[in-house]
Amino acid sequence: MSAMFRSFSNINYRIWFAGALVSNIGGWMQATAQDWVVLTELTDNDAAAMGVTMALQFGPPLVLVSLTGWVADRFERRRILLATQSALLMLAIAVGVLLLPMMFCFAAAFGVVNAFDAPARQAFVSDMVSAGDTSNAVALNSASFNLARMIGPAVGGLLIVAIGSGWVFIANAVTFLAMLVALLMLRTGQLAPRLKNRRPGGLAEGFRYVWGRSDLRVVFVTVFLIGAFGMNFPIFASTMAIEFGAGADGYGVLSSVLAIGSLAGALLAARRDRARVRVVILAAGGFGVAAFVSASMPTYLTYAITLTFTGFMIVTLLTTANGYVQMTTAPALRGRVLALYMAVIMGSTPVGAPIAGWVADTFGPRTAIMLGGTAGFVACAIGAIWVFTSGRLHRSEGSRFLMTLDETRPLNIVDEAEILEKKAEPVEFSDEAAVTTPIRTSKKD
């Protein structure tokens, strides 16, 4: 099996991937219906109202981060996902029946359930595959997500026109059954044993871990800036579709075109042996360029073409950032650190989406897109400053550009006493631990 798809050698991951793909297609169908309903049925093309809806849906991960990270580390993640996926199924049925009168309430309810679902789902990937394949599995997960993004919005847009918005939510509810069946089919005996953190500290311990590493701080700041101002694609694409005179089907096609570049970025990330901070920084700058180019396009077709490059950059950034956080974080803290990561990426939306919606209403959608591009340039500049001031950049005659950046490698810091007891449980990251504690490395064949 090629390096790009090496995680598929794991039976549990194959089952998971299939279930997630079907469920993600339904999720993107619902997202398209929700955005279009708020923009054209609940309001008179009010982008600010869509921003409020996005804020309600993505705000709970930020508000509940201390609880969701603890839950992801404390309880069996497969059972968490069974509960959250079942709850999302019931919500999709309910919103399909009630639809318009309670859209804001259901958006908030979806946000609460997803706040628990996201960190458990992200951390569960490392429970299914080996440490060496974690980055590949994360990238393939992103490929699944974006393959669904190619199919779901286009199908959702056509279904809105053909049968109405409410039935699209019902169709999404049916797709959750695929994820539930996949979770029940997993071979639990082949899942990695859980490393539990017995010391007190909760989310504060995860926060100290992140704050103690300058590389993670750069990743988190970059993800926040892009998430807040650059990833408001429902606002950008829907308002641009209206500007070009397209309907719900045209909006769905734009979302699918965006996913073509996103899928390419995810598959390219899957080929890399590991995630690197430099890729995150460069992708942020590339996103800024792509955003400004797309904002200047005069026709629907040219705008759609530029979205492939926007999608490529954004998914390259997010997939690499996600893999880097997972691979370089101590397993016992992974759930809490990923909860912080998801709170940053999803919780940034309530900050940026209303602003982007207001800018789109007041100055036009092109200005809102350029605001997102500016955030990409700022994130890239912050990363570049870190590269030159962190002391990790060195001259290297053997490198392509005669310079090399010392990257944090996916090593687990373990406690020496517990090695003797054959427990091998990670301790909290610190400079002292890095200097005095033995490092466990994977053996080469």
144-167: pLDDT as tens digits: 776 776 677 777 777 887 877 778
Cβ pair 254, 150 in contact under 8 A? no
Half-sphere exposure in the Cβ direction for 397 (13 Å, CA): 0
For residue 219, is it within any domain?
yes
Average pLDDT over residues 281-300: 94
According to DSSP H, which parts of 7-46 are helical? 11-36
- Cβ neighbours for 260, distance < 8 A, ≥ 6 positions apart: 150, 308, 311
For residue 195, is it within any domain?
no
Q: Same domain, yes or no, for 211 and 354?
A: yes
For residue 402, is it within any domain?
no
Distance CA 49, CA 106 (A): 15
CATH of the domain at 298: 1.20.1250.20
Closest by CA position to 51, among listed 359, 374, 375: 359
Name the one residue in this structure whose structure tokens are 């990743």.
219
Distance CA 336, CA 129 (A): 20
- Cβ neighbours for 420, distance < 8 A, ≥ 6 positions apart: none
Full-model pTM: 0.67
Q: Give the Cβ contact number of residue 218 at 10 Å.
A: 22
Q: Same domain, yes or no, for 351 and 295?
A: yes
pLDDT band at 412 (very low <50, low <70, confident <90, very high): very low
**What is the extent of the structural domain holding 416?**
411-445
pLDDT band at 383 (very low <50, low <70, confident <90, very high): very high
pLDDT digits (tens, 9 = 90+) for 173-194: 888 888 899 888 888 887 776 5
Q: Same domain, yes or no, for 429 and 320?
A: no
For residue 193, is it within any domain?
no
- Residue 297's pLDDT is 93
AA letter at 398: G
**Burial class of residue 42, CB neighbours in 10 A (0-12, 13-18, 19+):** middle
Cβ pair 371, 226 in contact under 8 A? no
Q: Same domain, yes or no, for 323 and 426?
A: no
pLDDT band at 197 (very low <50, low <70, confident <90, very high): low
- Residue 348's pLDDT is 80
pLDDT digits (tens, 9 = 90+) for 3-26: 677 788 888 888 888 888 888 888
**DSSP letters of 31-81?**
HHHHHHIIIIIISSS-HHHHHHHHHHHHSHHHHTHHHHHHHHHHS-HHHHH
Q: Report whether pLDDT(263) > 60.
A: yes
Q: Same domain, yes or no, for 223 and 104?
A: yes
- Residue 342's pLDDT is 77
- Give the β-pairing of 393-395 and 412-413: unpaired
AA letter at 339: A
Closest by CA position to 162, among listed 91, 248, 76: 248
pLDDT digits (tens, 9 = 90+) for 69-111: 778 777 888 888 899 889 888 888 877 665 555 677 777 788 8
Top pLDDT among 430 and 53 is at: 53
- Residue 413's pLDDT is 37
For residue 319, is it within any domain?
yes
Average pLDDT over residues 324-352: 78
Top pLDDT among 66 and 200 is at: 66
Average pLDDT over residues 35-57: 74
Q: Same domain, yes or no, for 322 and 438?
A: no
Q: Report whether pLDDT(324) > 90.
A: no
- Residue 265's pLDDT is 80
Beta-ladder partners of 405: 393
Beta strands in 158-256 (DSSP E): none
Q: Same domain, yes or no, for 123 and 250?
A: yes
Mean pLDDT for the chain overall: 77
- Cβ neighbours for 15, distance < 8 A, ≥ 6 positions apart: 182, 185, 186
Distance CA 289, CA 297 (A): 13
Distance CA 234, CA 35 (A): 7
Half-sphere exposure in the Cβ direction for 34 (13 Å, CA): 30
- Residue 284's pLDDT is 94
- Residue 96's pLDDT is 66
Angle (CA) 201-207-213 rounded to 5° is: 125
**In degrees rounded to 5, what are phi and psi of residue 173?**
-60, -40
**DSSP letters of 314-350?**
HHHHHHHHHHHHHHTS-GGGHHHHHHHHHHHHHHTHH
Q: Same domain, yes or no, for 219 and 359?
A: yes
pLDDT digits (tens, 9 = 90+) for 215-243: 889 999 999 999 889 888 878 888 898 88
* Residues composing the chain: 445
Q: Which of 50-64, 189-203, 224-238, 263-277 has the highest mean pLDDT?
A: 224-238
Q: Same domain, yes or no, for 421 and 349?
A: no
Q: Report whether pLDDT(53) > 60.
A: yes
- Residue 254's pLDDT is 85
Give just the sign of the alpha carbon dihedral 344, 350, 354, 357: positive
**Burial class of residue 390, CB neighbours in 10 A (0-12, 13-18, 19+):** middle
For residue 406, is it within any domain?
no
pLDDT band at 288 (very low <50, low <70, confident <90, very high): very high
For residue 245, is it within any domain?
yes
- Residue 387's pLDDT is 86
pLDDT band at 425 (very low <50, low <70, confident <90, very high): very low
Total domains, the chain: 2
Q: Same domain, yes or no, for 370 and 292?
A: yes
Instruction: Give the C-alpha distances (Å, rounded to integers) separating 400 from 116, 354, 405.
Output: 44, 44, 12
> Percentage of the chain surpassing pLDDT 70?
81
Q: Report whether pLDDT(414) > 50.
A: no
Distance CA 54, CA 51 (A): 5
Q: Between 165-185 and 134-163, two packed helices, what is the crossing angle to 10 degrees? A: 150
Average pLDDT over residues 51-57: 74
Q: Same domain, yes or no, for 60 and 7?
A: yes
Cβ pair 168, 33 in contact under 8 A? yes
pLDDT band at 424 (very low <50, low <70, confident <90, very high): very low
- Residue 302's pLDDT is 94
Q: Same domain, yes or no, for 270 and 148?
A: yes
- Residue 219's pLDDT is 92
Would you call 382 helix, strand, or coil by DSSP?
helix
Average pLDDT over residues 18-47: 79
Closest by CA position to 230, among listed 295, 275, 140: 295
> Percentage of the chain surpassing pLDDT 90?
16
- Residue 367's pLDDT is 94
Cβ pair 26, 172 in contact under 8 A? yes
For residue 194, is it within any domain?
no
- Residue 415's pLDDT is 37
Cβ pair 337, 328 in contact under 8 A? no
Distance CA 21, CA 67 (A): 28
Q: Which DSSP category does 426 fall into?
A: B
